[in-house]
Amino acid sequence: MAVYTEVTDEDLSAFAAQYDLGAVLSCKGIAEGVENSNFLLVTERGPYILTLYEKRTRREDIPFFLGLMEHLSDKGVACPLPVAARDGVALRELCGRPAVIVTFLSGLWPRRIHPQHCAELGAALARLHLAVGDFTMERPNALALAGWQDLFAKSADRADEVAVGLRETLETELAALAANWPVGLPSGVIHADLFPDNVFFRGESLTGLIDFYFACNDFLAYDIAICINAWCFEIDGSFNATKARLLLSSYRKVRPLSRAELDALPWLCRGSAVRFLLTRLYDWLNHPPGAFVRPKDPVEYLRKLRFHQTVRGLGDYFLDDDDQPAGA
C-alpha cells in the first residue's frame, strides 16, 4: 500500500477549494503504488486521484511527469490527465508535499496475465513511443548503467544475504553490460515501469496506462525489455514465449523495430533484469522495520537475469519467423 501522509479534512477542503471540482464527498487512501501517497478523491464532479509526492520523487522532476501525461492525453494515449486549479496550475502543495489531482481512469490491472493482455500492451507501448516523438521535455534515466553501479555499490556488501553468490553475479554482469550495452538505438521518452499494476484493462481491452513517475529518456526498445520481464514470465519463473511473441508482434504493427533493436533485445532484457534486481535488493536490505510496504522479492529478477544470460539471439526466446522484421 502507499499512504505515507495523513491529510486532515481541513487541509483537504482548503486544497480542493482551489479547484472547480465542487465539494469533497470522500477521500480514501489507496492500497496500491509504492512511491507516493494516493487517494481516491470523490468530489461533486466525480472521482479523481489525488497524489502526494513523497521523498523519493524529486520535486524538480514533477513538471516533466505532468507535462508528459498532458502530452500523451493530448495525443490520445489514455492516461491520467493532471487537473489544473482555477489559476491554471496543476502542481500544488498539500501537507508540505507537492500534490496533484489527476483524472480517474477506469479499468482493472490484471492479476493474471493472459496472452491477449500482452498483445494489447505491445500496441499501447508502441503508441506511447510514437506519441512522445514531439515531446520536448527531457529527463535522463537515473537508473541506467551508471545508476546501477551506484546502487550496486550501496548493496554489494550485503548482497549475499539475499542469495549466495549474488554479489559476484552482479559484479560480473555489470561489467558485461558495460561492455555490451547497445549504442545508437532509437531513443525517446519511455515509461520505464510498465508493470501489470500500471496498466488497466476492461476484460482484455486495455483502457489506459498510469504511474509515469519513472518515465525518462532512453532507448525505446529498453521499454519493451522491461515489459518482457514484467509480463512474459510465469510465477514459476518460466518464460512464456507466446506472451512475448504477442507483445512484440503487436508492438511492431504500430511501430516497426529495426534489426539493431531486435538484436539488442537480449542485452536490454539483461539490463532491465539487473535494474529491478538492484532496486529490489536495495529496498530489501534497507526497508525500515515498521514500513507499510512489503518489499518485493529481488530473487524473482535474479532468475530472470539468469534466463536472459543463456540467450544468444532472438531465436533463443523462441520467437518465430513472424517476429523477424518485415524487411529481414
Q: What does the binding site for a copy of itself look like in residue numbers (CB under 8 A)?
A: 1-3, 6-10, 12-13, 23-32, 40, 42, 47, 104-112, 200-203, 289-290, 292, 294
Q: How far is the CB of 50 from a copy of itself (least distance, A)?
A: 12
Q: From 159, 158, 212, 161, select the one nearest 189 (Cα to Cα).
A: 212
Q: How far is the CB of 306 from a copy of itself (least distance, A)?
A: 26
Of the pair 117, 139, the CB lying nearest a copy of itself is at 117
Q: How far is the CB of 73 from a copy of itself (least distance, A)?
A: 18
The CA-based angle 263-193-50, given to 5 degrees, is: 160
Q: How far is the CB of 110 from a copy of itself (least distance, A)?
A: 6
Q: What are phi and psi of 39, to 5 degrees?
A: -130, 140
Of the pair 294, 312, the CB lying nearest a copy of itself is at 294
Of the pair 3, 227, the CB lying nearest a copy of itself is at 3
Report the Cα 224 to chain-centroid distance in Å: 11
d(CA 325, CA 328): 5
Helix (H) or strand (E) holding 199: strand 199-202
Q: How far is the CB of 103 from a copy of itself (least distance, A)?
A: 12
The distance between the two most distant Cα atoms of the chain, rounded to a whole number of Å, is: 63
Q: Do the strands 187-190 and 92-94 form a parallel or antiparallel pair, or are they unpaired?
A: unpaired
The CA-based angle 74-76-127, given to 5 degrees, is: 120
| DSSP states of 40-96 | EEEETTEEEEEEE--TTS-GGGHHHHHHHHHHHHHTT-----BPP-TTS---EEETT
Q: How far is the CB of 102 from a copy of itself (least distance, A)?
A: 14
SS3 101: strand
Please report which residue ranges of 160-219 form alpha helices under DSSP H.
166-180
Of the pair 56, 112, the CB lying nearest a copy of itself is at 112
Instruction: Read off the C-alpha cell for 85.
Output: 486549479
Of the pair 104, 181, the CB lying nearest a copy of itself is at 104
DSSP letter at 132 equals G
Of the pair 116, 249, the CB lying nearest a copy of itself is at 116
Of the pair 12, 260, the CB lying nearest a copy of itself is at 12
Q: How far is the CB of 26 from a copy of itself (least distance, A)?
A: 5
Q: What are phi and psi of 257, to 5 degrees?
A: -105, 140
Q: How far is the CB of 300 from a copy of itself (least distance, A)?
A: 16
Of the pair 25, 178, the CB lying nearest a copy of itself is at 25
Instruction: Read off the C-alpha cell for 174.
Output: 555489470
Q: List, in order, residues 6 or more apart from 65 with CB less than 8 Å away.
A: 212, 213, 215
Identity of the residue numbered 220: L
Q: How far is the CB of 277 from a copy of itself (least distance, A)?
A: 21
Of the pair 64, 231, the CB lying nearest a copy of itself is at 231
